[in-house]
Structure 1
Amino acid sequence: MNMKMLTMGAMALAMMAGAAVAGSTSALDDPAKMSPFFTDAGMKTLRTEKDFKTAWMAMKPDEQKAVLKDCGDTTLNKSHAEFCAMAKKMGS
């Protein structure tokens, strides 16, 4: 009986942790925030440095911090490397 309760508790905890991780989102994956930095709807081609800077300056400081924080994550940075390089340049 105790083993069954421990197993059920561990499964419930694992499911809650998985849901918490799945629920976290990155500023880099928010199309509303990211689209001003790209020339295409698929968000594959960055704007010029001048246009990028204009879009960057239009962001609120806390949004800029969130983007730079996400760019510091090596997993997120891999899929957004070009954007993050430009964002880090603007943030320094």
Structure 2
Amino acid sequence: MTIKMLCMGATALAMMGSAAMAASTSGTSALDDPAKMSPFFTDAGMKTMKSQKDFKTAWMAMKPDERTAMMKECADAAVKKAHAKFCAMAKKMGG
């Protein structure tokens, strides 16, 4: 009975742990958040970026820790590929 309980406990722990890890790695990026990204785009669908001047204005209006967080996300290969134009422009801004 004790071994059965230990096995059940280990199985439950493994299932909860793998679900937590999956949620943390497949969670959405801050670069997918319309509220954070709308200042950088001209349209609601976030397809057309603003001019470099307007981008810089929006970039500098952000808190330094928010800019750092976005640059860290741009360092992720999958995120960088999905948001290539944004990441390239952010890098030009000194990120």
Question: Considering the TM-score relative to the shorter chain, is it more than 0.5?
Answer: yes
Structure 2: 5+ residue stretches without partners = none
In the aligned structure 2, how far is the partner of 1:7 from the partner of 1:75? 36
1:49 is aligned to 2:52: yes
In the aligned structure 1, how far is the partner of 2:84 from the partner of 2:4? 47
In the aligned structure 2, how far is the partner of 1:18 from the partner of 1:76? 21
Structure 1: 5+ residue stretches without partners = none
Pairs aligned (count): 92
Q: What's the TM-score, normalizing by structure 1?
A: 0.82
In the aligned structure 2, how far is the partner of 1:89 from the partner of 1:6? 54
Q: Cα RMSD between the aligned structures?
A: 2.2
1:17 is aligned to 2:18: yes
Bigger Rg over Cα? 2
Q: Indicate which of 40, 58, 63 corresponds to 1:60.
A: 63
Question: Identity, % of aligned pairs?
Answer: 60
> Which residue of 1 is the match for residue 35 of structure 2?
32
Q: What's the TM-score, normalizing by structure 2?
A: 0.80
